[in-house]
C-alpha cells in the first residue's frame, strides 16, 4: 500500500507538471527557437542545455520525462508488491538490483545525458549504453519473472508459466533471434538515417528508448540469471553470446569513429561543438564503453561459474548423464536405474562390475 500510495502521488505530481507546461503557450522551451509542444511537455519539460556537459552538470542537469517516470514508479510499486506477496523469502540483492535498474532508466531519460541527447551525440550514446546494457542487466538480475511466479496463486502461476514457456516468448528469446534483434537495433539505429530522425524529433527518441530497453532485456535474459523461460544456456554459450555482441558494438563504434559525415543533431548556439568530432567521440564511447560493460558482465559470469563448478552435481535429467549410465550398464551387465545418476558413481556393486569389465578387456587385449 505504501508503494502504491507513493506511486499515485508521483503520477499526480507529473500530471500537474505536464498541464503546467502545456499551459505555457507562446513561450519557448528547451533549445532556442524550439516552441513548447505536446511531445516536449511530456518528455522534455524543464530541461535546457546550458554550457558543456562536463563535471557536475552530469548530475545537476535534469529534465522531466513524465511518461518514463510514471512507468518507472509503477514498475517499482509492482515489484515491491510482488516482494510483499511472495510465498518464499525474496533475496534483498535481487530487489536492490531491480530498483537500481529502474534508477538507471530514470537517469537515462531524465538526467544530464537526456537533457543534451539532441544536441550532443556523445550524450545520446551514453544514454544508449545505459538503456541497452546497464539497465537490462540490473533488471534481469532482479528476476522479475521468478518473482511474478512466487507472488501468484496456483491458477495465475500456471497461466504465467504457459506464457513464458509458450511459442511466442520462446521464439523471441531463442538465442539466434535475441542476438539478431540486438544486432539489428545497434547497427540499424546508428549506421543508417534513423539516428538523424531520432536526434531531431522527441517522439522518435521516446520510441528509441523503449526499443533499446526491450531489446536489451530480450538479450540479457539469456545471459544473466536463470529466469523460468524455455532456454537455459550453459556458461560457455553465454560467453559466446557476449563475445558476438561485443563484436557488434566494436564494429558499430569503429564505423562511427572513422566516419566522414556527422549525425544530424540539433544546433544550439550556446554550445560550440564540432559535429563530426562529437560523432566520432560517440563512436569511441560505443566501442570502448560497450565492450567494457560486456567484459564486466563476462567477468561476473566467470566468477559465478568458478564458484559453482566444483559443487554442482549433474542434473538428474541430463541426457548426457543418462546416456553414460545406460552405456555403462550395457557393457557391464549392471542392473541399475538409469534415471538415478546422482548416486550411481557411489554404487559399490557398479564399481565392482566396472573393474571386472576392465579385467576382461585386458585379457582380450
Top-confidence range, 188-202, 259-273, 309-323, 338-352: 188-202
Read off the pLDDT of each residue in 306-314 and give the average, rounded to a whole number.
Answer: 58
Say whether pTM exceeds 0.85: no
For residues 326 and 344, give the distance between their C-alpha atoms in angstroms, rounded to a whole number: 11
Report the 10 Å Cβ neighbour count for 112.
23
Question: How confident is the model at residue 314, as a pLDDT?
Answer: 43
DSSP 8-state class, residue 313? P
Sorting pLDDT into bands at 50, 70 and 90, what band is 5?
confident
Read off the pLDDT of each residue in 312-335 and give the average, rounded to a whole number.
Answer: 57
CB 45 within 8 A of CB 29: yes
Sorting pLDDT into bands at 50, 70 and 90, what band is 302?
confident
Rounded to the nearest 5 percent, the helix, strand and coil shares of the chain are: 70, 0, 30
Helix (H) or strand (E) holding 6: helix 2-22
CB 118 within 8 A of CB 200: yes
% residues pLDDT > 70 (the chain) = 81
What would the grid cell of residue 175 be? 538465442
CB 133 within 8 A of CB 294: yes
DSSP 8-state class, residue 267? P
CA 338, 342, 343, 344 torsion: positive or negative?
Answer: positive
Task: Judge residue 191's burial from the number of C-beta atoms within 10 Å of its C-beta, 0-12 exposed, 13-18 middle, 19 or more buried.
Answer: middle
What would the grid cell of residue 365 be? 587385449
Amino acid at each position: 500500500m505504501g508503494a502504491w500510495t507513493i506511486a499515485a502521488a508521483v503520477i499526480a505530481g507529473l500530471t500537474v507538471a505536464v498541464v503546467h507546461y502545456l499551459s505555457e503557450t507562446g513561450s519557448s522551451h528547451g533549445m532556442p527557437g524550439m516552441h513548447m509542444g505536446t511531445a516536449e511537455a511530456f518528455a522534455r519539460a524543464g530541461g535546457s542545455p546550458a554550457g558543456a556537459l562536463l563535471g557536475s552538470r552530469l548530475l545537476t542537469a535534469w529534465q522531466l520525462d513524465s511518461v518514463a517516470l510514471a512507468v518507472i514508479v509503477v514498475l517499482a510499486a509492482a515489484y515491491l508488491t510482488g516482494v510483499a506477496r511472495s510465498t518464499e523469502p525474496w533475496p534483498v540483492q535481487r530487489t536492490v538490483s531491480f530498483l537500481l535498474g529502474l534508477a538507471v532508466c530514470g537517469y537515462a531519460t531524465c538526467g544530464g545525458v537526456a537533457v543534451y541527447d539532441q544536441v550532443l551525440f556523445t550524450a545520446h550514446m551514453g544514454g544508449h549504453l545505459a538503456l541497452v546494457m546497464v539497465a537490462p542487466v540490473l533488471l534481469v538480475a532482479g528476476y522479475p519473472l521468478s518473482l511474478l511466479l512466487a507472488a501468484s496463486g496456483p491458477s495465475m502461476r500456471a497461466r504465467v508459466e504457459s506464457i513464458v514457456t509458450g511459442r511466442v516468448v520462446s521464439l523471441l528469446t531463442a538465442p539466434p533471434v535475441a542476438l539478431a534483434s540486438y544486432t539489428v537495433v545497434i547497427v540499424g539505429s546508428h549506421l543508417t538515417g534513423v539516428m538523424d530522425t531520432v536526434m531531431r524529433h522527441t517522439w522518435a527518441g521516446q520510441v528509441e528508448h523503449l526499443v533499446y530497453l526491450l531489446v536489451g532485456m530480450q538479450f540479457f535474459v539469456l545471459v544473466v540469471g536463470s529466469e523460468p523461460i524455455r532456454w537455459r544456456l550453459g556458461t560457455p554459450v553465454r560467453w559466446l553470446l557476449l563475445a558476438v555482441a561485443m563484436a557488434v558494438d566494436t564494429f558499430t563504434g569503429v564505423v562511427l569513429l572513422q566516419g566522414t559525415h556527422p549525425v544530424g543533431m540539433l544546433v544550439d548556439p550556446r554550445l560550440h561543438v564540432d559535429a563530426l568530432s562529437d560523432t566520432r567521440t560517440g563512436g569511441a564511447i560505443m566501442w570502448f564503453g560497450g565492450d567494457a560493460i560486456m567484459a564486466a558482465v563476462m567477468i561476473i559470469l566467470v566468477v559465478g561459474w568458478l564458484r559453482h563448478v566444483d559443487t554442482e552435481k549433474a542434473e538428474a535429467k541430463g541426457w548426457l548423464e543418462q546416456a553414460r549410465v545406460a552405456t555403462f550398464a550395457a557393457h557391464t551387465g549392471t542392473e541399475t536405474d538409469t534415471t538415478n545418476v546422482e548416486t550411481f558413481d557411489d554404487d559399490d556393486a557398479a564399481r565392482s562390475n566396472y573393474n571386472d569389465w576392465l579385467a576382461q578387456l585386458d585379457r582380450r587385449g
